[in-house]
Amino acid sequence: MAATEPVDDAPQPPPLPASLLRQWPVIGTIAAGWLVAVVLAFAVPALHDWRPITVAGLGVGVLGTSIFLWQRAAVRRGSRGAQTGLT
């Protein structure tokens, strides 16, 4: 009885366009949105309830960007446990 190798006939998705692979426009847009929300929360008295949420959102964005930059630096120096696909 001979073993047969599975044939992968599943269609492959097309590669993403280069514009969707750039990270900095996304990071910048989201950071700018949170920054506007923070400014509005502190400038408009009616939005004082938003202050902790907007500051936390800005903080989480800074933390996420820091982790992204850390992982990208690990990829560039060739660290064995680094993620792949970050440029």
Reference 57, options 83, 38, 74; nearest CA is 38
Q: How many domains does the chain have?
A: 1
pTM of the full predicted structure? 0.68
Q: Is residue 6 part of a domain?
A: no
Reference 28, options 52, 62, 56, 54; nearest CA is 62
Length of the chain: 87
For residue 27, give Cα distances in angstroms to 2, 32, 61, 65, 69. 53, 9, 8, 8, 12
Q: Is residue 42 part of a domain?
A: yes
Render pLDDT for 46-67 as a digit per residue (tens, 0 to 9). Answer: 999 999 999 999 999 999 999 9
Q: Is residue 60 part of a domain?
A: yes
Render pLDDT for 7-39 as a digit per residue (tens, 0 to 9). Answer: 668 888 898 888 878 888 989 999 999 999 999
The pLDDT value recorded for residue 6 is: 63
Q: Is residue 10 part of a domain?
A: no
DSSP H helical segments within the chain, as ranges?
18-21, 24-43, 51-77
Q: Is residue 38 part of a domain?
A: yes
